[in-house]
Amino acid sequence: MEQTISNSQNIPSSTHKSFSKTRKKKRYQFKVQCLQTTDPLTENPVSAQSLLQTPSSSASLQSHDSSKQIHAQIIKSGGKWMSCSLTCNLIQLCLETGDTQSAAMLFSAGLDSGSLSLSYLTDAFDKGRVDPYEFLRIFQHLHRTGSVSNVRILTAAIKISAELGDSWLAFQSHALIAKSGLDAETLLKCYLMDFYAEFFSMESTEKLFRETPVKCDVLWNKAVMLNAEKELWWKAIELFREMQSSNVKADEITMAKILNSCGRVEALRLGKQIHGHVIRSGLLPNLLVSNSLITMYSKNSSIESARRVFESIPNPSLVSWNSMISCCSLNGFLVNAMELFNDMVESGMETDVVTWNCLISGHSLHGFNHQVFELFRRMQFKGLKPNSSTITSVLRAVSGSNLIKFGKEIHGCVMRNGLECNVYTGTSLVDMYLKCCSLSNAHRLFDTMKHRNVITWNSLITGYAYAGFLDEALQLLKRMENGGLQPNIITWNALISGYSMKGQSRQALVLIRQLKSIGQKPNVVSWTAIISGCCQNEQYEDSLYFFTEMQKEGIKPNSATLATVLRACSSLALLNKGEEIHCFATRIGLDTDIYVATSLIDMYSKSGSLRNAYQVFKKIENKNLASWNAMIMGFAVYGQAKQASLLFDEMSKLAVKPDGITFTALLSSCRHSGLITEGWKYFDGMKTKYGVVPRLEHYTSIVDLLARWGYLDEALDFIQDMPLEPDASLWGALLGACRTHRNLEIAEIAARNLFKLEPHNCANYLLMMSLYAYENRWEDAENMRNAMNAAGLKSKSGWSWIQIGQTVHVFSAEGKQHEDIGEIYFELYQLISELKKSGYVPDTSCIVRNVREEAKEKLLMAHTEKLAITYGLINTSKTTMIRVITNTRVCNDCHTMAKCVSKITGREIYLRDGVRFHHFIGGECSCNNYW
């Protein structure tokens, strides 16, 4: 203790001033009061003020000796010992002149004579008449004389230890407490627990708590609160349970903390149990507990329960109103939030910045950007000054709307309100500029910021990485390190995401290894970034590979990881792998997650298991728009327009507002089923009934619907009258229908536009070649082939694959032949021979070469779909569905052959081509020959 206190004497004067500055005025006032008192114990009253006005008094303000002279004069003037007031005066004078040792001696003498008590020192410290350093020096002297055994003095010593961040002093104080036999004192224990929690670990705090033999209510409440404040939510809940088992009563502050913990970990069931305990304990209607209940229910999206608690409060406070408005707003019940806001105003309760922030943040979070700007305008009109929370929410809306001009206006508002020094506001501005694709403004603002934290650096590095400027992002990383800030896992994950999105997954993997080499463990976000990047770049096999590597590293996937991997499975139609991931999601409790469930619907739909997709859909309790869209699209691609329409009607009854994706799915179901009237109904109702502005994909669906049904002229007129500029997909839909209906005139119009829009797409040349071949215009077909060769284009190599067990067997029109190709052709020839007996006639119209019919039939035999189907017939049991994936649109002959095979063999065949899905059963196809 002595060592520590002596060391404190060497602390720079500037630091001492920082502790003493706030106390100087109080000390001066106290000094004047003291100097105006008299000593009632002397026969002739002695005025300390008159003594200080002697020639020595002026010097007494500047030297230790002078204070000692005054002390001597007071003693000589009469009285065996000074009164309490004079002792206090002289102690204060000694402290003012820096004579701490004399002050300590006077105080010790006052203790011995009984004129002073230990409470004098703690009272003086609490009232600011003794600064921390002076207190420690007096404390040192008292410790030497063995006078320290007072709980309040030891408590003050621990408080100073925390204020100065002096762990060694706290340890010594703790040791002194133990030696003094005061370690069972609740007040001291609580302060020690506070100190250990703040400067060390919660493990040491719990050890301190556990070693107390008899734990009172105060100590239990302190232990629970400390864990909750340190965001150890589950630990706080565990201690609370133990506390209840020990029949210890929790106070209202502890109850509020534990309810907040239940909200943080989304433990609704436990929160309801504690709600019942609160009622039984008689803590309602306590405003603090009631407000915490509202917040807990809000975090668990239980709006009705929160509303019942709010309505049970006799006189809701401002915090109560704000909590309930925040509850509705953040959970998407924005209309209810506005109604509450109006009720609040009508009740006479004055709104504050927090009230407006609740509304603004809720609307911003749910994408109602226009309302955010309107609320922000109204807030300013009311004369309320926005804070950093307001600005952050408004900037999120600016980013979502890509309104950089308005963002610059908000930047000006920040400057006018003096918020530019706030690091969070500055970071939000940087983030806004980045999301509005203005890297230069973001970087310029970043360079002018006086205060930057790791989040600010991460925001800029992420912006450059996501924009593909990876070298610049790495340079920023080095600047960050040179500036004394160490990159955290978020920094590294930003770089990993940047490399992954740019298709450089191997370099991203190098970063993960580098991260491990510097002692940081890659987390689930690191691996999900690589998996997601591979999916975005259609490197689906790599996605599955990295998912396996992630599991080998012992990293538990989250919902985003599983949703991404399921997307890879759906793109490859890997039903078996998708089912494995479904089982895995069930084991770890993520199968009910809305994002995972929606991805499962998509995976099953695209992998030929519509029944399983619908089963997953029915199990979702709180369906969102994405899950409805996924199931409607699932029915659409299978040509089940009626089911898609019924699902849309059910969705509308539940007041789920459709978006553009919904209508894309509905129009797809109509075009796959040839339902022109229904298609027009949905297209016309998009804008008029639902307020959804048609986009190019919706116009493409209508063109495809008209053209496939043979209304080619009407489709062409529709294109020419539409308000948007047609793109390649729209003209491609028209050209594809022209081949089906052999309309060369309109096909040439569509082809001319396609050659301009996508001159390097060989599919357009091949379509025209097939049309010319069908019309026996072989010279034009050859000219088209020459034009294609002149442009350096090669036809896309067709391939099909089928999975047998755990092995994927690929059949390609070019490259290496399958090892069992001889056996496959033998079985295929026999199969075709049997099919011809039942009426199958090869359709050679899709062969664009000018060769004899026999040669064309042989070329048809080499189509990869036929090879894959035949291999499936050879190597699977008669009850197994044959699932084949091909990368091109299935030709008429392969489609007819598959129908016939399903009829004579009794096998179900699932064929997914480059356009849609075909499910063959008993000689019929789910597409009804309309594809």
Note the pLDDT of residue 219.
Answer: 82
Rg (the chain; Cα; Å): 40
- Rounded CA gap, 82 and 71, in Å? 9
pLDDT tens for residues 597-643? 999 999 999 888 899 999 999 999 889 999 999 999 999 888 889 99
DSSP 654: T
- Confidence class for position 354, pLDDT limits 50, 70, 90: very high
- Rounded CA gap, 631 and 602, in Å? 7
Note the pLDDT of residue 785.
Answer: 86
Report if residue 784 sits inside a domain. Answer: yes
Note the pLDDT of residue 181.
Answer: 57
Q: Is the pLDDT of residue 1 over 60?
A: no
- Confidence class for position 37, pLDDT limits 50, 70, 90: very low
Note the pLDDT of residue 75.
Answer: 47
Q: Examine the domain organization and report whether 784 and 855 are in the same domain.
A: no
Percent of the chain with pLDDT over 90: 45
pLDDT tens for residues 101-128? 566 566 656 555 555 455 555 555 555 5
- In the numeric block, the tokens 């036929």 are attached to 866
- Find out whether 157 and 130 touch, Cβ atoms under 8 Å: no
pLDDT tens for residues 258-303? 999 999 888 889 999 999 988 888 877 788 999 999 999 999 889 9
Q: Is the pLDDT of residue 192 over 90?
A: no
The most confident of the ranges 156-170, 192-206, 356-370, 796-810 is 356-370
Q: Examine the domain organization and report whether 788 and 819 are in the same domain.
A: no
Hey, is 225 helix, strand or coil?
helix
Q: Examine the domain organization and report whether 781 and 818 are in the same domain.
A: no
The domain in which residue 784 lies consists of: 721-795
Q: Which residue has the higher pLDDT, 667 or 930?
A: 667
How much of the chain is in helix, strand and coil states, percent to nearest 5? 70, 5, 25
- Find out whether 202 and 227 touch, Cβ atoms under 8 Å: yes
Report if residue 760 sits inside a domain. Answer: yes
How distant, in Å, are the alpha carbons of 1, 141, 160, 172 from that of 138? Answer: 12, 5, 13, 16
- Confidence class for position 81, pLDDT limits 50, 70, 90: very low
Token reading at 807: 């092995």
- Find out whether 553 and 547 touch, Cβ atoms under 8 Å: no
Q: Examine the domain organization and report whether 921 and 823 are in the same domain.
A: yes
Report if residue 76 sits inside a domain. Answer: no
- Of 15-24, 181-190, 232-241, 381-390, least confident by mean pLDDT is 15-24
Q: Which residue has the higher pLDDT, 54 or 296?
A: 296
Note the pLDDT of residue 856.
Answer: 84
pLDDT tens for residues 706-725? 998 889 999 999 999 999 99
Residues forming beta bridges with residue 918, ordered by sequence position: 911
Q: Where are the alpha helices (DSSP H) in 722-802?
A: 728-741, 744-757, 762-774, 778-790
Note the pLDDT of residue 217.
Answer: 83
Note the pLDDT of residue 585.
Answer: 94
Note the pLDDT of residue 15.
Answer: 38
Report if residue 839 sits inside a domain. Answer: yes
Hey, is 560 helix, strand or coil?
helix
pLDDT tens for residues 868-923? 999 999 999 988 889 999 888 888 889 999 999 999 999 999 898 877 788 899 99
Q: Is the pLDDT of residue 431 over 70?
A: yes
- Confidence class for position 64, pLDDT limits 50, 70, 90: very low
Q: Examine the domain organization and report whether 874 and 766 are in the same domain.
A: no
- Confidence class for position 27, pLDDT limits 50, 70, 90: very low
pLDDT tens for residues 797-818? 788 989 888 888 999 877 788 8
Q: Where are the alpha helices (DSSP H) in 801-891?
A: 821-837, 853-861, 864-875
How distant, in Å, are the alpha carbons of 77, 878, 899, 901, 903 from that of 906? Answer: 125, 8, 10, 8, 5
Q: Examine the domain organization and report whether 810 and 783 are in the same domain.
A: no
Note the pLDDT of residue 72.
Answer: 52
Q: Examine the domain organization and report whether 824 and 905 are in the same domain.
A: yes
The most confident of the ranges 199-208, 494-503, 758-767 is 494-503
Q: Is the pLDDT of residue 478 over 80?
A: yes
Q: Examine the domain organization and report whether 830 and 789 are in the same domain.
A: no
- Rounded CA gap, 270 and 263, in Å? 10
- Rounded CA gap, 86 and 41, in Å? 11
Q: Examine the domain organization and report whether 840 and 784 are in the same domain.
A: no
pLDDT tens for residues 760-782? 888 888 889 888 888 888 888 88
Domain final position from 408, 425, 441: 441
DSSP 909: E
Q: What single-letter amino acid sits at 539?
A: Q
Domain final position from 386, 408, 441: 441
Q: What single-letter amino acid sits at 669?
A: S
Number of domains, the chain: 3
Token reading at 716: 């062409």
- Confidence class for position 6, pLDDT limits 50, 70, 90: very low
Q: Examine the domain organization and report whether 771 and 857 are in the same domain.
A: no
pLDDT tens for residues 112-170? 555 545 555 555 555 555 555 556 666 665 665 555 555 666 666 666 666 656 566 66
Report if residue 761 sits inside a domain. Answer: yes
Positive or negative CA dihedral for 809, 814, 820, 824? positive
How distant, in Å, are the alpha carbons of 4, 16, 170, 339, 574 from that of 1? Answer: 5, 19, 9, 62, 71
Note the pLDDT of residue 931.
Answer: 67
- Find out whether 827 and 873 touch, Cβ atoms under 8 Å: yes
628 Cβ contact list (under 8 Å, min separation 6)? 647, 651, 656, 662
- Rounded CA gap, 865 and 896, in Å? 12
Neighbour count for residue 386 (Cβ, 10 Å): 23
- Find out whether 508 and 496 touch, Cβ atoms under 8 Å: yes
Q: Examine the domain organization and report whether 813 and 884 are in the same domain.
A: yes
Q: Is the pLDDT of residue 391 over 90?
A: yes
Note the pLDDT of residue 93.
Answer: 66
Report if residue 244 sits inside a domain. Answer: no
Token reading at 139: 């404390």
pLDDT tens for residues 642-652? 999 999 999 99
Report if residue 726 sits inside a domain. Answer: yes
Q: Is the pLDDT of residue 677 over 70?
A: yes
Kindly report each contact of residues 623-628 with a partner whose C-beta sits within 8 Å and lies 24 or more positions away, as own/partner. Answer: 623/594, 623/656, 624/594, 624/598, 625/656, 625/657, 625/658, 625/659, 625/662, 626/594, 626/595, 626/598, 627/594, 627/597, 627/598, 627/601, 628/656, 628/662
Q: What does the pLDDT average to over 26-45?
A: 38
Percent of the chain with pLDDT over 70: 79
- In the numeric block, the tokens 């610059």 are attached to 408
Biggest CA pair distance of the chain:
142
Token reading at 207: 């050890």
- Confidence class for position 68, pLDDT limits 50, 70, 90: low
Domain final position from 730, 760, 795: 795
- Confidence class for position 352, pLDDT limits 50, 70, 90: very high
Report if residue 921 sits inside a domain. Answer: yes
How far from chain centre, in Å, is Cα 235?
23
- Of 11-25, 428-442, 463-477, 843-857, least confident by mean pLDDT is 11-25
Backbone conformation region of residue 486, classed left if phi is above 0, alpha if psi is from -120 to 50, else beta: beta
Q: Is the pLDDT of residue 12 over 70?
A: no
Q: Examine the domain organization and report whether 818 and 916 are in the same domain.
A: yes
